[in-house]
Structure 1
Amino acid sequence: MTKEINFDQINQYQANLDNRKDSSVVERAVTHQGILAVSSDFKSDINMNPVFSIDLSTGDVSDQKQSGRCWMFAALNTMNHRLMNNFKVADDFELSQNYINFWDKFEKSNYFLENVIKTADEPLDSRKVAWLLATPQQDGGQWDMLCALVEKYGVVPKSAMPETFSSNSSNQLNKFLNLKLRRNAAQLRELIASGASEDHLSKTKDIMMNEIYRMLTYTLGTPTKKFNFEYRDKDKQYHIDQDLTPKEFFNKYINVDLDDYVSIINSPTDDKPFNKTYTIDMLGNVVGGRQVKHLNLEMHDFKQLAIDQLKRGESVWFGSDVGQSSDSKKGILDTELYAVDELFDMDLSLSKGAQLQFGESLMTHAMVITGVDLVDDKPVRWKVENSWGNKVGNKGYFVMSDAWMEKYVYQIVVNKNYLPSNLKKAQAQSPKVLAPWDPMGALA
């Protein structure tokens, strides 16, 4: 039954407020300083002391600047850690994020056009087509999408394909690439509606992809095909390896089987039973490449896998909702950082499952776990390598409380060879296909 607000109610609400002894004090403070400053809890600064019982050496942090490429920065950072340990490259050495970025946008464009063709028989206002056209492509991605790119194209050092204006600041490129893709979508749907042959469609899409390649080359540079790898190691010794292809470089200097690394999620919602696997419809970048696949585990198992990988000396890629209860200047991720519920004297809590189901939270950012502080073999806080440069946090590193991990971390990537036998069996299952808009399809 619809019932409008009347002025008697409003007057009562004001009277209730006037009867609170602290209302004027709180109003003055919040109106001048804002919600977060007034509710900030100093105890969090003390508890998030950046000291860890397991602390991997990982070098300098990278900087994604004004782009949404955290997922590829974080993934390449994990590979960079391996290269640094094995070949003693300098702490400021980086793999080329722009090289991966070029191929990601190229492949995402093709992936989008293929989905346009597949959904051409659906009306424009269908939920699936509307979802597809809302964002033809963007900077974000997931771990399996990174693997699909590296498996096809390899990697290169940053010196072989450095950043450009459009890789550092991606708004302009994304705007006009999405404009082109929407125009191409309109053309393809019109051709299909008119009964065009598959051969005609294929030739038309080929022309479209040729134009997209030109657009990406003008903005991101010509993708590297061969290069010389030159560096001085930490012992000041000079090295050069000539005429390498990107795949040769990956195989020689990273030397990891990406098929061994799998996505683990924690999504405590009724539609996703634990110890089952899931994929997301229309989520990916490389047509014919690696499928996005998640194994959903309870948080105890989820955290233990991360701890075990750190104990083996290997960092952990993870996805989280970084905007929740965080302070980028201090480099703190902590559920106790702000006491907003106490400030307003109301219950603002939602369970992890509810915050996913009701749109309060989802994965927005990927980083790397490089350490953990264990007390009686239980995690208290975690060390996090971010990709926002060294002017935030502790020279770019953050401290994450264990409670924040439980509440806002949704995904980690671990080596499947070290899973317990029951979880290996669970991970090998064929995944259930989720809707494109499922929260677990969010791009970091």
Structure 2
Amino acid sequence: MTINTELLTNFKKRFDENRENQVIQGAIAKVGINTASIDNDVLRRHSFTFSDETKRGEITNQQASGRCWMFAALNTARVDTMNRLNVDTFEFSQNYTLFWDKLEKAHYFLDSILDTLDEAQDSRIIAHLLTDPVQDGGQWDMFSGILEKYGAVPKAVMPETFHSANTAVMNKILTSKLREFASVLREGHQNNETLEALTAKKEDMLYFIYNVLVKALGEIPETFTYDYRDKDNAFHRIADITPQEFFKKYVGWDLTNLVSLLNAPTADKPYGRAYTVKYLGTVKEAQPIRYINAPIEVLKEAAITSIKAGEPVWFGCDVGQMSIRDGGIMDEKSYQYDLTLGEGLNLTKAQRLDYGDSLLTHAMVFVGVNLDDEGKPLTWKVENSWGDKAGKKGIYSMSDKWFDEYNYQIAVDRKYIPEKWLKALDEPVIELEPWDPMGALAMVK
């Protein structure tokens, strides 16, 4: 078969025979496919009322940056800080953690280049490493490593700058320099420079990254003083404290107890095993990324138990799938493509992963769930980080079926996970290739 006049004539005839196509064509031309396809019954099914909710702070805004995973993690952590400080809301500095993420990613990248000096220039691994070495995105375990090493500070201690809120230009410059540094290291190796000599060059390379970050994001506080008033209007001063001490005292998490559960129902990833991804990380010396792959019901039960205990839940999903951004609705039936386009989207979750149609793109926080009389979830309350103009003043409602189809990862305390699944952490971790879908990073703006 070729695309010729006869075939096109046949297509036109088939199109014109259905008079509804003319109406739909006009609607789509005017408002676009998604708006023309919205199922209004979906809007009625989401009342934004939930049977169980956790405490949360005011809605945050990652602006023109891909820091959703940081915002989600810090928005989860701040609930404990709000309780300990006796305040109605609180916000951590996402600029502070962005600084360390960029510096550590640069270090991780340069070490990875040194580890792969004997790889051919056109190898898949080198192409992968060079693709986006200091992009904004990340996953839960990557951020856990940052918190463990560097702690956290209130937003007032290290506020936003132009480039923390608008990362594109900064990222472009850092990426170009890191690729340049990679060429220096690899060409030096080809010219028989020793590994010791190449490693020595890395310090000056890393200083350049540090230099740019200080100029773009600001000086890092070694210690700080934080003044605030609590809910009773009483004044408090926390004086001369380090970021690590602040995190330990006012969040108090044992990060080793927070476990990532994954739902990847593909044939190559059996449930009940722990996985990692090669060359994926931020802090080089941190524990490697680990996920336990489990059925979606295990993720739901752990999330519900955590929410009932008053603890919000970090999660990673494919936010662009069947979601109504302005309306704050994530529902598998949001759009009636079968009516407007003639066919719906029919890949299964496993097929979407295998065929590159879906992966983790965005991180948010579960701060509530609406359970039916039998304790089964109907909808989930989601705190986003796109400001209060998106969704319902920053809050989204997710259908339980959407959770099934497009949610991939949650991070919860191990006490909310049945021992049956935790046993996976005692077995050898299965390494996935760097380009595996489970290596995708949350970074949607």
Q: Same fold (TM over 0.5)?
A: yes
User: What one-letter code is carried by the residue in structure 2 that aligns with 1:190?
Assistant: E
Query: What is the alpha-carbon distance in structure 2 between the residues aligned to residue 144 and residue 63 of structure 1?
Result: 22
Of the structure 1 ranges 64-73 and 26-35, higher mean CA displacement relative to structure 2 is found in 26-35
Q: Which residue does 2:304 correspond to in 1?
A: 307
Query: What is the alpha-carbon distance in structure 2 between the residues aligned to residue 421 and residue 398 of structure 1?
Result: 32
Counterpart among 323, 326, 338 of residue 326 in structure 1: 323
| Secondary structure of the corresponding residue to residue 79 of structure 1 | helix
Q: Which residue does 2:158 correspond to in 1?
A: 161
Encode CA deviations 1:400-419: one digit per residue, 9 max, x unaligned: 11111111100000111232
Is 2:207 aligned against 1:194?
no
Equivalent residues in 2 for 1:215-230 (5 A)? 215-230=212-227
Q: Which residue does 2:380 correspond to in 1?
A: 382
| Secondary structure of the corresponding residue to residue 423 of structure 1 | helix
Contact 1:371/1:382 (<8 A) preserved? yes
Contact 1:90/1:232 (<8 A) preserved? no
Equivalent residues in 2 for 1:315-394 (5 A)? 315-375=312-372, 376-394=374-392
Contact 2:55/2:310 (<8 A) preserved? no
Contact 2:53/2:308 (<8 A) preserved? no
Identity in percent: 44
Compute the RMSD of aligned alpha carbons. 1.1
Contact 2:134/2:171 (<8 A) preserved? yes
Q: Which residue does 1:407 correspond to in 2?
A: 405
| Secondary structure of the corresponding residue to residue 27 of structure 1 | helix
Query: What is the alpha-carbon distance in structure 2 between the residues aligned to residue 284 and residue 183 of structure 1?
Result: 21
Query: What is the alpha-carbon distance in structure 2 between the residues aligned to residue 290 and residue 72 of structure 1?
Result: 18
Q: Which residue does 1:137 correspond to in 2?
A: 134
Counterpart among 240, 252, 262 of residue 243 in structure 1: 240
Query: What is the alpha-carbon distance in structure 1 between the residues aligned to residue 341 and residue 156 of structure 2?
Result: 52
Of the structure 1 ranges 156-165 and 424-433, higher mean CA displacement relative to structure 2 is found in 424-433
Counterpart among 91, 96, 109 of residue 94 in structure 1: 91
Query: What is the alpha-carbon distance in structure 2 between the residues aligned to residue 33 and residue 228 of structure 1?
Result: 52
Encode CA deviations 1:13-62: one digit per residue, 9 max, x unaligned: 11112221312122222222211111111111110110000012212111
Query: What is the alpha-carbon distance in structure 1 between the residues aligned to residue 143 and residue 75 of structure 2?
Result: 12
Encode CA deviations 1:371-401: one digit per residue, 9 max, x unaligned: 0000021000000000111111121111111
Q: Which residue does 1:54 correspond to in 2?
A: 52
Counterpart among 211, 215, 224 of residue 214 in structure 1: 211
User: What one-letter code is carried by the residue in structure 2 that aligns with 1:61?
Assistant: I
Contact 1:41/1:336 (<8 A) preserved? yes
Query: What is the alpha-carbon distance in structure 1 between the residues aligned to residue 105 and residue 402 of structure 2?
Result: 32
Q: Which residue does 2:253 correspond to in 1?
A: 256
Query: What is the alpha-carbon distance in structure 1 between the residues aligned to residue 344 and residue 240 of structure 2?
Result: 62
Contact 1:231/1:239 (<8 A) preserved? yes
Q: Which residue does 2:287 correspond to in 1?
A: 290
Deviation of residue 430 (structure 1)?
A: 2.5
Encode CA deviations 1:121-176: one digit per residue, 9 max, x unaligned: 11121111011111121000011111111111111111111111110000010000
Q: Which residue does 2:396 correspond to in 1?
A: 398
Query: What is the alpha-carbon distance in structure 2 between the residues aligned to residue 383 and residue 429 of structure 1?
Result: 34
Encode CA deviations 1:208-251: one digit per residue, 9 max, x unaligned: 11111111101011111000121101111111111001111111
Deviation of residue 201 (structure 1)?
A: 1.2
- TM-score normalised to structure 1 length: 0.97
Contact 2:368/2:380 (<8 A) preserved? yes
Q: Which residue does 2:14 correspond to in 1?
A: 16
Deviation of residue 6 (structure 1)?
A: 2.6
Q: Which residue does 2:421 correspond to in 1?
A: 423
Contact 1:147/1:290 (<8 A) preserved? no
User: What one-letter code is carried by the residue in structure 1 that aligns with 2:230?
Assistant: D
Query: What is the alpha-carbon distance in structure 1 between the residues aligned to residue 406 and residue 16 of structure 2?
Result: 37
What 5-or-longer segments of structure 1 have no aligned partner?
Answer: none
| Secondary structure of the corresponding residue to residue 264 of structure 1 | strand
Deviation of residue 334 (structure 1)?
A: 0.9
Query: What is the alpha-carbon distance in structure 2 between the residues aligned to residue 210 and residue 421 of structure 1?
Result: 45
Contact 2:337/2:344 (<8 A) preserved? no
Contact 2:59/2:388 (<8 A) preserved? yes
Counterpart among 61, 64, 74 of residue 72 in structure 2: 74
Query: What is the alpha-carbon distance in structure 2 between the residues aligned to residue 297 and residue 109 of structure 1?
Result: 32
Q: Which residue does 2:4 correspond to in 1?
A: 6
Deviation of residue 339 (structure 1)?
A: 0.6
Query: What is the alpha-carbon distance in structure 2 between the residues aligned to residue 346 and residue 394 of structure 1?
Result: 30
| Secondary structure of the corresponding residue to residue 435 of structure 2 | coil
Deviation of residue 12 (structure 1)?
A: 1.3
Query: What is the alpha-carbon distance in structure 1 between the residues aligned to residue 390 and residue 426 of structure 2?
Result: 40
| Secondary structure of the corresponding residue to residue 160 of structure 1 | coil
User: What one-letter code is carried by the residue in structure 1 that aligns with 2:436?
Assistant: D
Query: Paired residues, what number?
Result: 441
Contact 1:117/1:188 (<8 A) preserved? yes
- TM-score normalised to structure 2 length: 0.97
User: What one-letter code is carried by the residue in structure 2 that aligns with 1:406?
Assistant: D
User: What one-letter code is carried by the residue in structure 2 that aligns with 1:18?
Assistant: D
Deviation of residue 118 (structure 1)?
A: 1.1
User: What one-letter code is carried by the residue in structure 2 that aligns with 1:47?
Assistant: R
Deviation of residue 265 (structure 1)?
A: 0.7
| Secondary structure of the corresponding residue to residue 243 of structure 1 | strand
Query: What is the alpha-carbon distance in structure 2 between the residues aligned to residue 27 and residue 153 of structure 1?
Result: 55
Contact 1:61/1:396 (<8 A) preserved? yes
Query: What is the alpha-carbon distance in structure 1 between the residues aligned to residue 335 and residue 366 of structure 2?
Result: 23
